[in-house]
A and B are shown apart, each in its own frame.
Chain A
């Protein structure tokens, strides 16, 4: 009897979350945009009309300038006569790889460090949280530029550096959440019936952090893609010849007045991705926590 009464309770609340998400048009738009970009990145070999690295002899005008959009090259060609659309589709791979890997690692680190900081009373917890204070004294972008420049930039270095910087705000959010969870009765009860610290963490604390992790997991991809694009634009991100959105803009900056599509199109791709993941993240937050939280 108790079993049948209790069993539907969980799916019901999950359904409510799902309903709230479905009824939020902005969230659905975000989800669709994200899915399309991920699909484009995965299907790059089939979707891209040309080889992204091939320098077409007819891809440049007789004066040696890039070809404008239209005809054989839907978005035009870049300064080396390569097809821009193909480079953008392949570039989605670099951006999303960094976006998912770096942000995934940052969320994982942030949740673990934040939870550890809140659960270990005494100097370990204090030291962890004071360390995050210090990290917040550095400007994110400047620190990322300094680290990638000094460590010799590449796609994986960029991902590593972003992960090592972005876990900090996540850890602080998780810390305050766990610090309040720690005082709640169900945690105390679990402790009273003999559950150890490890069991309390995995069975009673971590499940409560899933919404936070999901929201950051999505919002963070947007900010990470922006950061990666900025680093690549400054020349300390993904290195050529690997196509990346920020890199394409970096290469073609000097063609701004004669070939503006070389700046506009990759910029639109970055904006769309960052917008998509932001919308999805905010939609998730609203659906998981109807009180708002901002």
Chain B
């Protein structure tokens, strides 16, 4: 157990180290000159040269990477070119809203996906099964930004049920969270259906039925608990898709989170912000995969720490 913990932790650290190296190399190879971007287009060559020296951009590649890594470990992601604010400060102020959005999306995924999956499994081969699986397929194929705009048009503009956008309470949260989670809901429905069908064909279920347990009792007492085992892993994977999805969803709904930060940064090509969020996402994804690996054996004793 401790050995597993240690080796997974080490593995995650190595992945993050490599990820920082890859992003640094990409930025290093860019045709754009950061010193010129900081100085502005009208600055003289001397100013640009002195800024380049100040930023350490005239040092060799590995030296620059070492310095970058040193700052990264301390949580320093550099400064925004345009706003002259530390990227970490900008990130910190945006994490809250994005976290709300993600939690909302996960809640909706589970609330929509799991019941539909159970319904599909229990009516296998009949119309509810076909409809649910069809919707799941559709949800995976539909472009997220289009779903977002369609929901705004239909539910916010036409029927006036929700605000058109902006940050606020639950009514503001609902549409963006739904957009972010709707594709995943289909994914959860598929998982639930196949898991439940597999569990229901097991011997212990037949035994429970043979001992006089009702169909409902078997489902609630025996089958569902085992069918929902992969959820921790799936939520871990969800975080990865969400880190990209929030850019689309937050830009459409004007939600002031990390995605909106990136969206604003790509408009003015503020590279430290863009790269900072990419690195931060890699960190979050690696962490959530790591957590899922640790939590999984706690939920399912058949899975051992390896």
Contacts and interface: CB of A to CB of B under 8 A. Distances in A.
A267 B149 contact: yes
Contacts of B269: 149-150
Contact of A149 (B150, B245, B274): B274
B289 to A, nearest CB: 8
Contacts of A222: 141
Interface string B271-286: 1001101100110011
Contact of A230 (B141, B144, B152, B157): B144
Given A141-B247, A150-B271, A267-B143, 9 more contacts: A137-B285, A139-B244, A141-B241, A142-B247, A147-B26, A222-B141, A234-B248, A253-B149, A271-B142
Interface residues of A, number: 42
Nearest to A270: B143
A236 B286 CA distance: 27
Interface in B3-51: 15-16, 18-19, 22, 26-27, 30, 32
B106 interface: no
Interface stretch (B57-65, B91-99, B260-268): B260-268
Which are the 10 A-B pairs with shortest beta-carbon distances?
A: A141-B244, A267-B146, A149-B266, A139-B243, A139-B244, A134-B18, A274-B141, A142-B244, A275-B141, A137-B282
Contact of B146 (A131, A144, A151, A249): A249
Interface stretch (A40-48, A62-70, A112-120, A257-265): A257-265
7 contacts: A134-B19, A137-B282, A142-B244, A145-B266, A146-B278, A149-B269, A278-B137
Nearest to B278: A146
A96 interface: no
A271 B244 contact: no
A247 to B, nearest CB: 12
Interface string A126-163: 00001101110111111111110111000000000000
A143 B278 contact: yes
A226 B245 CA distance: 12
Interface string A194-218: 0000000000000000000000000
A192 B275 CA distance: 51
